Amino acid sequence: MNLVLIGVNHKSAPLEVRERLAIPAARLEEATLSLLSVPCVREGMILSTCNRVEFLTYQEPAQADLLEFIRNYFAVDTDVLRPYIYEYRASEVVRHLFRVASSLDSLVIGEPQILGQVKGSYTVARSIGGVNNNLDPLMQRAFTVARKVRNQTSIGVSSVSIASVAVDLARKIFGSLQGKTILLMGAGKMGELAARSLMHQGAGKIYLCNRTDERAAELAEKFSSCPHAAGQSSATASPVAQATPYASLHQVAATADIIVSSTGSEQPIFLRRDAEHYMHRRKQRPMFFIDIAVPRDVDPEINGVEGVFVYNIDDLQAVAISNLSNRAKEALDAEAIVRAEVERYTRRMHSLDGVPSIVALQESLEEVRQNELRRMTSRLSHLTSEELHAVEQMTRSLVHKLQHAPIQAIKRAAQEGDRETLATIQSVFDLEHRAKDAEDAPITEKAKTSAPLPAMAASESIESAFVPTPDATRPASSGTDSAPKSISEKEDCLP
């Protein structure tokens, strides 16, 4: 496998380095095209997120200088970058890619966005011909592995951010958040984020309250201007955001199912007696207080009121940390899945490496068979068609039997990565040139042609065998014809 991946990520490089190499989505296509123009880079793809910039390539026939590409494209001194850059080759690339797609290499293990980002990069690269016969199966497998990890482990089940923990807790209390009312108290950034997450889950109405009414109105305007509820368009079902004066806080609070508070108040705003009053007015329907303020806005005593649940910033953080440690445990299972998948993929790739030799051997023996039959044409002319058919069957069977042992040896050598044996077999049967031709065929074609004999169908008559049709037995080697010329014609490679 001539896979090479170089890049930087949140573990290898500080933000200052990553931002020098970051490629915005709008420039991804152009950057990928530049990567593909590097000599010997046959296929290529770029993954650029806030935590990583990686260049995945399939190189042939020699090694490409990707550092040179980085130096030219980003106009940076590669000597400075070198300590931060990692490089993977062959099966290491497969492992790294599977781990990245499965979110095992992410800053927050198990976060779901990375798979979408990888798919985005893949789509861009594919649209410009950067992903073909060699990278395509690898990427497809990476997506499958990522799905397998998600389905077979709980790596992405629990929330690890404060806002998503708040949403999870609200769901544990109310089930669906459809139609629920939220009161956002204060203008803290985290409070706003939590309220937005709740609105995204379908909460129906949000009241905004602040000591200064203008600020509340400003926030209400912000919430009204963009659609929050999942699946709702701003034109049809924009949630109602309403600023409420501080004086009517307790009146509004009694109608709210969820209260998010993040003010800078020195004293608690919500006291136990307030909560008791709310619950009485609400006929004991549950209430959820999310207190993100420091010092706290919600008297902790309120948690003692039946039907009221109070979570402060420490509580939310504790849940997030606990979920994170659960993810770390699940990550061990996920790593085992990735390990097994890498092994399976590598084995399959090795065995595919043997296919060109098998095809070449089959072609060679078939050619010998047909030549011999042609040579004997005059001597066999007195035979009836049944007898000719029998001769045809016999020669075919003979070839089958003769090629069985070397094919098994090729397969074994390919699976074990034993290139020496492969080379010996190729040399003994004089297959080097044929194997080279077969290698140029697309992978799917190679897999097809690994079936027993590619020669004639059983129904073909012996007469047709006397007519030389060498191309009929050749595997589809036109795979590279469809590849962009700029890629296939590159020859200016490093030794």
Question: Candidates 36-44, 70-78, 313-321, 438-446 — which segment interacts with other proteins by CB under 8 A?
Answer: 313-321
Tally of CB atoms within 10 A around 399 = 18
Query: How far lies 107's CA from each of 49, 50, 62, 112, in Å?
Result: 12, 10, 34, 12
Q: Does 306 bind other proteins (CB under 8 A)?
A: yes
DSSP string, 330-394: HHHHHHHHHHHHHHHHHHHHHHHHTHHHHHHHHHHHHHHHHHHHHHTTTTTTTS-HHHHHHHHHH
**H/E element holding 311?**
strand 308-312
Among 169, 190, 193, 287, binds other proteins (CB under 8 A): 169
What residues numbered 142-161 form the site for other proteins, per CB under 8 A?
Answer: 154, 157
Q: Does 494 bind other proteins (CB under 8 A)?
A: no
Among 39, 129, 227, 307, binds other proteins (CB under 8 A): 307
Question: Candidates 25-33, 131-139, 204-212, 316-324 — which segment interacts with other proteins by CB under 8 A?
Answer: 316-324
Question: Candidates 51-59, 197-205, 305-313, 428-436 — which segment interacts with other proteins by CB under 8 A?
Answer: 305-313
Q: Does 329 bind other proteins (CB under 8 A)?
A: no
CA distance linking residue 114 with residue 151, whole number of Å: 16
Among 282, 389, 412, 448, binds other proteins (CB under 8 A): 282
Beta strands in 127-204 (DSSP E): 181-185
> CB of residue 319 vs other proteins: minimum separation in angstroms?
5
Instruction: Label residue 495 exposed, middle or buried (CB < 10 Å: 0-12, 13-18, 19+).
Output: exposed
Question: Candidates 67-75, 291-299, 307-315, 370-378 — which segment interacts with other proteins by CB under 8 A?
Answer: 307-315
> CB of residue 72 vs other proteins: minimum separation in angstroms?
50
> CB of residue 335 vs other proteins: minimum separation in angstroms?
19
Query: How far lies 417's CA from each of 345, 354, 447, 448, in Å?
Result: 13, 9, 18, 21
> CB of residue 117 vs other proteins: minimum separation in angstroms?
26
The verdict on whether 40 is a catalytic residue reads no
**Amino acid (1-letter code) at residue 318:** A
Q: Does 309 bind other proteins (CB under 8 A)?
A: yes
> CB of residue 290 vs other proteins: minimum separation in angstroms?
13
Residues β-bridged to residue 287: 308
Query: How far lies 339's CA from each of 145, 236, 334, 364, in Å?
Result: 10, 48, 9, 39
**How many amino acids of this chain bind other proteins (CB under 8 A)?**
24
Contact track, other proteins, 17-36, x by CB under 8 A: --------------------
> CB of residue 157 vs other proteins: minimum separation in angstroms?
8
Place of tokens 């890498």: 342
| Closer residue to other proteins (CB): 55 or 311 | 311
Q: Which residues are catalytic?
A: 50
